[in-house]
């Protein structure tokens, strides 16, 4: 009796799927006729589910949406094989579901920082990708508060360095000192030995002091007077830049900026959010940070390692790199390291969106954050005052988006 009930339920599900698939086929046909666009459906079986990506292709690439069916069997089914798929209008396509852990992190940080949800996503993206961030913004917009809240919620260690013109590399990495009591030289480790290091106003430090980060950022180790020490994992540098100062500051060299995965611009929040900031401070101005809950992110790192990258996506990333090097708008294009950062950040973005594979939208999202600080405009571009936004838009438009037949 139980088997009969189960078979009937499975049969009902298959018939329901077939009906929805037929409606989808009709919708696609209508949409193609009305908008003169090509639509394809790419089916991929992943982790026991049927994943179907629907993309639209015209002169402006829109990008895929993903939906999942509630049940899937590898065994062929007559109703399933005779039809296509899904909703009644293009707006009905469900988005990929974000992992609960990502929503939990946002909910905790929102207790102390208002707005900047996109920056929180980018911090998570770079943390998963094993990279570093340049954070540019006006004073007093919660750059430091956001970094502290981020480390509190992730349960990782945090140190902060305030850069000044007289800072030395030893102030960052550490040094040996003579212990008179034990009559031995001992190492005093600097603030770089942490999971997240906030290099506040890094452009106030001299190039010599800024260079103290390079080995740690690239090789995850620090050398102090000939002895090499590993640093904790994960390790991320958030270097803040104050755009207001023009005297007594040192711009980050292009070769050093290339080691940062993203450069983010933090502006002011809108009027309603700024009122929320004042309400937040008026209601409980003290100790709110220490009350944040720690969220276990181990499953996020595991999911990141399992993200699949198709060879077409790798070709797409390589095409973007080539476009930057061949563009007449630029004197210097993106390095191979930039390609690796694009790849890892795209995997992290896919992971945060709840997908086990990378799509072109992930690469495009990452490119806007990973390329501008690495590229050097040509003299003509600088003379004509062409913005880097226009340059990136032109580059991405020149590279064909990979689409499976």
The fraction of the chain above a pLDDT of 90, given in percent, is: 33
Assess contact for 333 and 327: CB atoms under 8 A.
yes
What token pair was written down for 250? 């040192």
Here the CATH number for the domain that contains residue 370 is 1.10.8.80
Start-to-end C-alpha separation, the chain? 45
- Whether 68 has a pLDDT exceeding 70, the answer reads no
pLDDT higher than 60, residue 78: no
My answer on whether 176 and 313 are in the same domain is no
Virtual torsion, Cα 144, 148, 150, 156, nearest 10 deg: 140
Question: Closest by alpha carbon to 331, among 391, 275, 276?
Answer: 391
Give the 3-state secondary structure of residue 333.
coil
Q: Check residues 24 and 375 and name the one with the higher pLDDT.
A: 375
User: Residue 278 domain-assigned?
Assistant: yes
Whether the pLDDT of residue 297 is over 80: the answer is: yes
Question: Do 235 and 195 form a contact (C-beta atoms < 8 A)?
Answer: yes
CA dihedral 163, 166, 172, 174 (to 10 degrees): -160
Tell me, yes or no, whether 98 lies in a domain.
no
79 and 170 share one domain: no
Q: Are residues 136 and 270 in the same domain?
A: yes
**pLDDT for the residue numbered 360:** 93
pTM of the model: 0.72
Same domain (yes/no): 279, 312: no
Burial class (CB in 10 A: 0-12, 13-18, 19+), 197: buried
The contacts of residue 195 (CB under 8 Å, 6+ apart) are 151, 156, 157, 158, 232, 233, 234, 235, 236
Tell me, rounded to whole angstroms, the distance of Cα 175 from its chain centroid: 34
Of 73-82, 194-203, 204-213, 322-331, minimum mean pLDDT range: 73-82
3-state secondary structure at position 146 = helix
Q: Let me know whether 320 and 225 are in one domain.
A: no
- Classify residue 404: in a domain, yes or no: no
Q: Are residues 177 and 152 in the same domain?
A: yes
CA 349 to chain centre: 5
User: What length is written for the chain?
Assistant: 405
Higher pLDDT, 107 or 78: 107
Q: Are residues 126 and 267 in the same domain?
A: yes
Among 58-72, 109-123, 204-218, 341-355, the least confident range: 58-72
Tell whether the model's pLDDT for residue 66 goes beyond 80. Answer: no
Element (H, E) at 100: helix 100-109
Instruction: Find the angle CA(396)-CA(397)-CA(399) to the nearest 5 degrees.
Output: 70
Verify that 363 and 275 share a domain, yes or no: no
DSSP string, 65-86: EEEE-S---SS--HHHHT----
Domain closes at, from 260, 295, 330: 295
Which of 258, 274, 295 terminates a domain? The answer is 295
Taking residues 353-375, report their average pLDDT. Answer: 93
Provide mean pLDDT across the span 245-249.
Answer: 74
Q: Are 53 and 153 within one domain?
A: no
Residue 339 pLDDT grade (very low, low, confident, very high; cuts 50, 70, 90): very high
Are 64 and 148 within one domain?
no
> For residue 300, is it within any domain?
no
262-272 pLDDT, tens digit per residue, is 999 988 888 89
Least confident residue range of 82-86, 152-156, 268-272, 375-379: 82-86
Which domain range does residue 74 map to? 2-92
Give the model's confidence band at 67: pLDDT under 50 very low, under 70 low, under 90 confident, else very high. very low
**What mean pLDDT is predicted for residues 279-284?**
77
Number of domains in the chain: 3
> Is residue 209 over pLDDT 60?
yes
Return the SS3 of 191.
Answer: coil
Do 341 and 284 belong to one domain? no
Identify the residue with better confidence: 161 or 243: 161
- Please check whether residue 235 lies inside any domain of the structure: yes
Structure tokens of 150?
Answer: 């981020």
Q: Which strand (E) or helix (H) includes residue 344?
A: helix 336-352
Evaluate whether residue 301 is within a structural domain.
no
Is residue 105, in this structure, part of any structural domain at all? no
Per-range mean pLDDT, top range of 205-219, 276-290, 361-375: 361-375
| Residue 40, pLDDT above cutoff 80 | no
Structural tokens at position 306 = 């399992």
Structural domain contains residue 391: yes
Q: Which of 39-48, 130-139, 282-291, 363-372 has the lowest mean pLDDT?
A: 39-48
Strands 236-241 and 196-200: parallel
Asked whether residue 257 falls in the same domain as residue 160, the answer is yes
272: domain CATH number is 3.40.50.300
Domain end: 92, 126, 149, which one? 92
Q: What pLDDT does residue 13 have?
A: 65
């Amino acid at each position: 009796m139980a088997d009969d009930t189960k078979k009937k339920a499975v049969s009902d599900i298959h018939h329901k799927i077939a009906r929805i698939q037929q409606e989808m086929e009709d919708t696609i046909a209508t949409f193609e006729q009305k908008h003169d666009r090509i639509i394809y459906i790419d089916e991929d079986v992943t982790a026991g589910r049927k994943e179907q990506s629907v993309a639209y292709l015209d002169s402006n690439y829109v990008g895929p949406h993903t939906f999942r069916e509630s049940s899937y069997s590898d065994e062929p089914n007559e109703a399933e094989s005779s039809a296509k798929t899904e909703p009644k209008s293009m707006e009905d396509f469900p988005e990929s579901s974000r992992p609960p852990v990502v929503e939990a992190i946002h909910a905790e940080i929102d207790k102390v920082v208002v707005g900047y949800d996109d920056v929180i996503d980018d911090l998570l993206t770079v943390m998963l990708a094993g990279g570093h961030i340049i954070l540019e913004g006006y004073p007093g917009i919660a750059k430091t508060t956001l970094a502290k809240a981020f480390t509190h919620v992730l349960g990782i260690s945090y140190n902060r360095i305030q850069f000044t013109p007289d800072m030395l590399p030893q102030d960052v990495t550490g040094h040996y000192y003579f212990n008179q009591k034990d009559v031995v030289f001992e190492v005093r480790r600097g603030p770089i030995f942490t999971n997240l290091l906030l290099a506040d106003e890094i452009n106030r430090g001299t190039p010599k002091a800024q260079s103290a980060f390079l080995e740690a950022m690239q090789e995850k180790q620090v050398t102090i007077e000939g002895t090499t020490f590993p640093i904790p994992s994960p390790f991320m540098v958030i270097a803040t830049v104050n755009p207001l100062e023009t005297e007594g500051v040192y711009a980050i060299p292009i070769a050093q900026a290339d080691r940062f995965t993203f450069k983010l611009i933090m502006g002011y929040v809108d009027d309603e959010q700024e009122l929320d900031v004042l309400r937040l401070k008026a209601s409980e101005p003290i100790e709110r940070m220490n009350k944040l809950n720690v969220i276990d992110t181990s499953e996020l790192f595991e999911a990141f390692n399992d993200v699949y990258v198709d060879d077409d996506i790798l070709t797409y990333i390589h095409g973007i790199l080539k476009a930057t090097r061949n563009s007449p708008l630029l004197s210097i294009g993106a390095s191979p390291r930039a390609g690796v950062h694009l790849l890892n950040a795209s995997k992290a973005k896919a992971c945060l969106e709840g997908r086990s594979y990378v799509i072109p939208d992930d690469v495009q999202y990452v490119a806007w954050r990973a390329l501008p600080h690495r590229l050097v405009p040509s003299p003509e571009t600088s003379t004509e005052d062409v913005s880097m936004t226009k340059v990136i838009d032109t580059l991405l438009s020149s590279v064909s988006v990979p689409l499976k037949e």
